[in-house]
Amino acid sequence: MLEIIPVPVFQDNYVWLAHDHSSGETVAVDPGIADPVLAAADVRGWRISQIWNTHWHDDHVGGNAEIKAATGAIVTAPRREADRIATGDVFVDEGDVVTLGEHVAEVLAVPGHTLGHVAYHLSGVGALFSGDTLFAMGCGRLFEGTAEQMWANMRRLGALPPDTLVYAAHEYTLGNADFALTVEPDNGALARRADSVAAMRRSGMITLPSTIERERATNPFLRAGSVEEFARRRAAKDDFR
Ligand code: ZN
Ligand code: FE
């Protein structure tokens, strides 16, 4: 059994801790900072044995060194960003696999937010660590890549099994819902989801993980009809508010 819990850090980041009960292994996905992540593992009696990074941004890798020093964790990071992630031990790219106990994560190259960005897909348990590529009702900003690249990611991630749980790296859900409603004001599933996430945030709840099914129904970036439409939506989101 794989238990996955969020550790909220900074303004709106989530570090995901996944613990495999049979092997005792624990992975921290995108630890931007060490202390709260080490503390969250400690209170559960988990020892962090691995770190998986999706991309080089500091809010995703900033805690690597300290967690390694405290636990001896092995850091898996995107190969195409090896020069920017000095704390990396194992570098991976499209087609590689990473294991946590008996669980296997396939590495998906999803460039766009950064050029080396990867996602980790545990198809056996139906979980996707999507980093800053796919968010609840949103997608990552194009800092390094092109709309074509991100659109290809949307097509590909949108084709994963509908019950796949999507563990994104940020709580951007409310702002994403506001934007999505401007794109699809008549989408009933979107309107209901916007209401429900607003209520969740009011009571301090975390709105993740999402599912691929929910994203297919409500995410304007997955739902674009063409790369041109995707690019227009992505550009409009950059200027939203
Ligand atoms: Zn980022
Ligand atoms: Fe980020």
Q: Which ligand is nearest to the CA of 59?
A: 2
Calculate how far, in angstroms, residue 41's C-alpha sits from the geometric centre of ligand 2: 21
d(CA 162, CA 84): 34
Give the pair of three-digit tokens for residue 162: 């509908």
Tell me which ligand sits closest to the C-alpha of residue 57.
Answer: 1
Q: For residue 12, which ligand has an atom nearest its CA?
A: 2
Tell me how far the alpha carbon of residue 116 lies from the centroid of ligand 1, in angstroms.
11
Alpha-carbon distance values, 206 to 52, 173, 179 (Å): 21, 9, 19
Tokens of 70: 């405290």
How remote is the CA of residue 55 from the centroid of ligand 1, in Å?
7
Q: How far is the CA of 22 from the centre of ligand 1 (A)?
A: 32
Report residues of the chain scoring pLDDT below 50.
none
The structure tokens listed for 239 are: 């200027």
Smallest Cα–Cα separation from 223: which of 236, 210, 233?
233
Q: pTM score, two decimals?
A: 0.98
User: CB-based burial of residue 85 (10 Å sphere; 0-12 exposed, 13-18 middle, 19+ buried)?
Assistant: buried
Tens of pLDDT, residue by residue over 121-130, are 999 999 999 9
Catalytically active residues are 55, 57, 59-60, 113, 132, 170
Distance 135 CA to ligand 2 centre (A): 11
pLDDT the model gives residue 100: 98
At 241 the pLDDT is 81
pLDDT (0 to 100) of residue 240: 95
